[in-house]
Amino acid sequence: MLSLQQREHRQAWVLLAPMLVVMFLLTAWPLGRTIWLSFTDAALIGSGGAPGYVGLENYLYALTDPDFQASILRTLWFTVVSVAIEGVIGVLVALLLNQRFYGRNILRVLVILPWALPTIVNAMMWRLNFNPDYGSVNALLTQLGIIDGYRSWLGSPDSALNAVMLADIWKNYPLVTLLVLAALQSIPDDLFEAARLDGASAWRRFRAITFPAIVAPLSVALVLRTIDAFKIFDIIYVMTRGGPVDSTKTLSFFVYQESFSYLRAGSGAAYAILMALMCGVLITLYMIMLLRQRRRSTANET
Amino acid sequence: MKSRFTLRLSVGLIALIAAAGSASAAKTQINALFMTQAAYSENDIRAMTSDFEKQHPDISVNLEFVPYEALHDKIVAARGAGSNGYDVVLFDAIWPAEFTKFDLLQDVSSRIAKEERAKIFPGALKTVVYQGKTLGMPWILDTKYLYYNKAMLQKAGISQPPQTWQQVLDDAQQIKAKNIVKYPLVWSWSQSEALICDYTTLVSGNGGQFYQNGKLNFTNPASLNAVTLMKTSLDKGLTNPASREYLEEDVRKAFSNGDAAFALNWTYMYNMANDPKQSKVAGDVGIVPAPGDAPGKVGAVNGSMGLGIAKTSQHAEQSWQYISYMTSQPVQNKYAKLSLPIWKSSYDDPAVSKGQESLLAAAKKSLDVMLSRPETADYSRLSNTLQQQLQQILQGQETPEAGLQAADKSAARLR
């Protein structure tokens, strides 16, 4: 005779089983297959025979491939800089939108628009903005007297990656704003009132009241953005296709090219696994940071 | 009551099934993949296809269009769809080696009679033939030409279009000095296949080849001259620096806008740049074969494309009927203003030549000398590496010698 607890356990498993099967089919199986592929010389489309096992060859090749190393650094630069800027702008805009002023609601809607735009549309729009002949960026900077002639922003390896980053930042800072603004609105006004009566400066009020309230949603926003930015692909595909001189070839684009343009499913899978591992490291670091923060804030409360 | 309802239901069902059955038996649907481009535009291809469907009521063609840059990957990825993929695909002259290796297209050698073959330009036929197999029918016969703005040349006191690349640079210098246009030359040098086509045209004009003793070689004098010319024209301010992010359409727009005196581009630009509705320089557009390094020499790249049947297609017969129609002489002649016919005798037809005599005169010289880009199963990788090296040179990050040596090295590493 099973105890009540045992029966409940069993029932739980029965109820979970269908979902576990679906999850296995959708996640574990493709992942397992990708890992297996990464140890073979499989082509994306078979020429008949079964792919051969090559052991760690793909990984060794990948790790010594200077192009791959360069694209890791490029991707990290892209991720760190754009996410940092998105964080700062996001918080500043959220603080601004939390103030009471005329037309605030309209502005709130406008700020969210870029984020609601499909990435492809955003990328096309920025490609036009950066157009060397009639782009608005050139027109604006020339009229302001910042540059003396039209430049080819996406055609120069010095500026192409930054131009793509600008497009990414413009599209994604509203997510940070959105989450931070929601947190800001949950702070009761009395807290600020009391602090003001106690003579706390604006900076002190921000540090003691505002920041602790927004730190959790901000971290979540930044984690989400980091993972997204690390995988950046669509904006690059539309704006530069990895050029010029590979200056915008990020990891995702690298994996795409290896697998779909060169048809090397095996080494493409190896690159993809390495990329997933790097993404895993990033996420772990963030999780540790988040947990520490939570521990610190609960310690403060008690 | 109940039985009558059941009876009515089953009669209805049978009728429905019969109707569906007869409809599917009557009509075969084939899926065709094309690219969005300017030569035969999407509308033109739709018009051709609907004419075909009128003549073949038993076949319906489902069309899909993607940009050239996505065409290769789309064809390859569709292989996974098996018989649900495409039946007819448009493919570029550079892919037959790779497509043969992976067995992506059906060999249609037996479908084209010998007499038919003899009527087609050999250069066009070469596009679809690899190692004795014929992978389809050539459809777009194309190469790059040198376009020039007659009014600008005249203004600069130049009476004849240039005969050599050195003359192009000299003329450009003169035009720039007289302040007629800021950057006299415009090209498509973005990190893409377009860059390789411009480069190949120059290599061909310098009398070069890509293979020496069966091995790829990019450091030969012709190749070095080609790249040096590209770089010099940038350094001297003769080439629009934005060329390094241009595709062919950007070149057309710059030229049509009167922002360039010379441009290298495909056939399609001729009639579009001469169309007052979309060009400010209509009537002033001159065309000559891309020159070479000596008077009388001509350079050209094989930029043709063909229509083939996917290996997995279940409707090879219908697909071939469609391809035959699309590549047939009457259809090609009808649309000759957009893309030159593959049929030799088309050029004797006044309806084809009227209004584009100078294009045909240039084509006669260019089509004979079209240089093919390297024929290798690993072409995509080779092309990408070469694009990167060429751009490195054009951006001034490497000397032409060092860049081409690096290209040689990576070509040797291709597996």
Is the pLDDT at B5 greater than 60? The verdict is no
pLDDT bracket for residue A150 (50, 70, 90): confident
Cα–Cα distance for residue pair B267/B285, rounded to 1 Å:
12
Question: Going by C-beta distance under 8 Å and a sequence separation of 6 or more, which residues neighbour residue A23?
Answer: none
Tokens encoding A185 = 């609105």
Cα–Cα distance for residue pair A213/A218, rounded to 1 Å:
9
CB contact under 8 A, B192 and A241: yes
Q: What pLDDT shows up at residue B6?
A: 52
Is the pLDDT at B388 greater than 70? The verdict is yes
Q: What pLDDT shows up at residue B378?
A: 86
CB contact under 8 A, A260 and B73: yes
CB contact under 8 A, B397 and A155: no
Inter-axis angle of helices A119-129 and A136-143, nearest 10: 40
Q: Which of B77, B242, B381 sits opposite A152 (nearest CB)?
A: B242
- Residue B158 · residue B174 · CB < 8 Å: yes
- Residue A241 · residue A256 · CB < 8 Å: no
The number of residues in chain B equals 415
In sequence order, the β-bridge partners of residue B138 are: B306
Is the pLDDT at B80 greater than 60? The verdict is yes
Give the H/E segment covering residue B269. helix B269-273
Q: What pLDDT shows up at residue B41?
A: 87
Minimum Cα–Cα distance from A46: chain B residue: B102
Candidate from A191-195, A247-251, A291-295, B229-233 with smallest mean pLDDT? A291-295
| Set of chain B residues whose Cβ sits within 8 Å of the Cβ of A149 | none
Output the CA torsion sign for B243, A124, B34, B37.
negative
CB contact under 8 A, A152 and B245: yes
- Distance in angstroms between the alpha carbons of the first and the last residue of chain B: 76
Minimum Cα–Cα distance from B253: chain A residue: A133
Higher pLDDT, B334 or A286: B334
pLDDT bracket for residue A44 (50, 70, 90): confident
Question: Å from A28 to nearest chain B CA?
Answer: 21
CB contact under 8 A, A257 and B259: no
Cα–Cα distance for residue pair A169/A78, rounded to 1 Å:
10
CB contact under 8 A, B73 and A45: no
Tokens encoding B295 = 């008077």
- Whether chain A has a CB inside 8 Å of the CB on B100: the answer is no
At A128 the three-state DSSP class reads helix
Domain B145-301+376-412 in this protein, CATH class: alpha beta
- Residue B137 · residue B323 · CB < 8 Å: yes
CB contact under 8 A, A243 and B192: yes
At B185 the three-state DSSP class reads strand
- The residue behind tokens 């692909």 is A233
CB contact under 8 A, B245 and A47: no
Q: What pLDDT shows up at residue B302?
A: 93
| Set of chain A residues whose Cβ sits within 8 Å of the Cβ of B414 | none
Is the pLDDT at B101 greater than 60? The verdict is yes
User: How many CB atoms are closer than 10 A to CB A60?
Assistant: 12
Question: Å from B71 to nearest chain A CA?
Answer: 10
CB contact under 8 A, B77 and A260: yes
| Set of chain B residues whose Cβ sits within 8 Å of the Cβ of A263 | 76, 98, 102, 380
Output the CA torsion sign for A27, A28, A30, A34.
positive
pLDDT bracket for residue B26 (50, 70, 90): low
Q: What pLDDT shows up at residue B25?
A: 53
Q: What pLDDT shows up at residue B139?
A: 93
pLDDT bracket for residue B2 (50, 70, 90): very low
- Residue A169 · residue A89 · CB < 8 Å: yes
CB contact under 8 A, B384 and A263: no
> Mean pLDDT, to the nearest integer, of B45-51?
95
CB contact under 8 A, A45 and B69: no
Q: Which of residues 119-148 of A touch B (CB under 8 A)?
A: 132-133
- Whether chain A has a CB inside 8 Å of the CB on B392: the answer is yes
At B61 the three-state DSSP class reads strand
A174: nearest Cα among A105, A87, A80: A87
Tokens encoding A122 = 């955003």
CB contact under 8 A, B76 and A260: yes
Is the pLDDT at A302 greater than 80? The verdict is no
- φ/ψ of residue B66, rounded to 5: -135, 160
Which one of A245, A257, A271 makes the best mutation probe of the B interface by having the most chain B beta carbons within 10 Å? A245
In sequence order, the β-bridge partners of residue B32 are: B63, B88
At B22 the three-state DSSP class reads helix
pTM of the model: 0.84
CB contact under 8 A, A245 and B191: yes
Tokens encoding B347 = 């050029």
Cα–Cα distance for residue pair B335/B121, rounded to 1 Å:
17
CA-angle at B6, arms to B4 and B8, nearest 5°:
70
- φ/ψ of residue A155, rounded to 5: -100, 0
Q: Which of residues 102-121 of B touch A (CB under 8 A)?
A: 102-104
- Whether chain B has a CB inside 8 Å of the CB on A48: the answer is yes
Q: What pLDDT shows up at residue B1?
A: 44
- φ/ψ of residue B315, rounded to 5: -125, 55
Q: Which of residues 13-52 of B touch A (CB under 8 A)?
A: none
Minimum Cα–Cα distance from A239: chain B residue: B245
For chain A, the 3-state helix, strand and coil shares in percent, each to the nearest 5, are: 75, 0, 25
Tokens encoding B246 = 């241009």
DSSP B103-166: T-B---GGGS-HHHHHHB-HHHHHTTEETTEE-SEEEEB---EEEEEHHHHHHTT--S--SBHH
| Set of chain A residues whose Cβ sits within 8 Å of the Cβ of B384 | 257, 261
Which one of A263, A267, A271 makes the best mutation probe of the B interface by having the most chain B beta carbons within 10 Å? A263
Distance of CA A37 to the CA centre of its chain: 27
The tens digit of pLDDT for each residue in B154-187 reads: 999 999 999 999 999 999 999 999 999 999 999 9
Question: Å from B67 to nearest chain A CA?
Answer: 11
pLDDT bracket for residue A282 (50, 70, 90): confident
Tokens encoding A162 = 């930054």
The number of residues in chain A equals 302
Which one of A45, A164, A237 makes the best mutation probe of the B interface by having the most chain B beta carbons within 10 Å? A45
The tens digit of pLDDT for each residue in A236-257 reads: 999 998 889 899 999 999 999 9
Q: What pLDDT shows up at residue B283?
A: 93
- Whether chain A has a CB inside 8 Å of the CB on B77: the answer is yes
Q: What pLDDT shows up at residue B8?
A: 57
Strands B59-67 and B28-36: parallel
Topology, domain A57-301: MetI-like fold (1.10.3720)
Is the domain spanning B28-142+303-364 CATH 3.40.50.300? The answer is: no
| Set of chain B residues whose Cβ sits within 8 Å of the Cβ of A45 | 76, 79-80, 102, 104
| Set of chain B residues whose Cβ sits within 8 Å of the Cβ of A262 | 378, 380-381
- Residue B78 · residue B33 · CB < 8 Å: yes
The tens digit of pLDDT for each residue in A92-103 reads: 999 999 988 898
The tens digit of pLDDT for each residue in B274-321 reads: 999 999 999 999 999 999 999 999 999 999 999 999 999 999 999 999
Cα–Cα distance for residue pair A177/B73, rounded to 1 Å:
38
Minimum Cα–Cα distance from A127: chain B residue: B245
Every domain of chain B and the residues it spans: 28-142+303-364, 145-301+376-412
Question: Å from A75 to nearest chain B CA?
Answer: 18
Question: Å from B245 to nearest chain A CA?
Answer: 4
| Set of chain A residues whose Cβ sits within 8 Å of the Cβ of B73 | 260-261
| Set of chain A residues whose Cβ sits within 8 Å of the Cβ of B257 | 133
- The residue behind tokens 């600020």 is A192
Tokens encoding B86 = 């495409």
CB contact under 8 A, B388 and A245: yes
> Mean pLDDT, to the nearest integer, of A139-151?
90
Q: Which of A157, A241, A242 sits opposite B395 (nearest CB)?
A: A157
CB contact under 8 A, A261 and B80: no
- Whether chain A has a CB inside 8 Å of the CB on B396: the answer is no
Q: How far is CA B167 from CA A3, B157, B265, B369, in A?
A: 96, 14, 18, 21
Q: How far is CA B378 from CA A10, A38, A249, B101, B410, in A?
A: 55, 20, 20, 10, 12
Starting at the edge strand that comes first in sequence, how are the strands of the sheet with B145-149 ordered?
B185-186, B262-265, B145-149, B285-291, B298-299
Q: What pLDDT shows up at residue A300?
A: 66
DSSP A35-91: HHHTTB---SS--SSPPPB-TTHHHHHHHT-HHHHHHHHHHHHHHHHHHHHHHHHHH
- φ/ψ of residue A188, rounded to 5: -70, 140
| Set of chain A residues whose Cβ sits within 8 Å of the Cβ of B190 | 155, 243-244
Is the pLDDT at A287 greater than 50? The verdict is yes
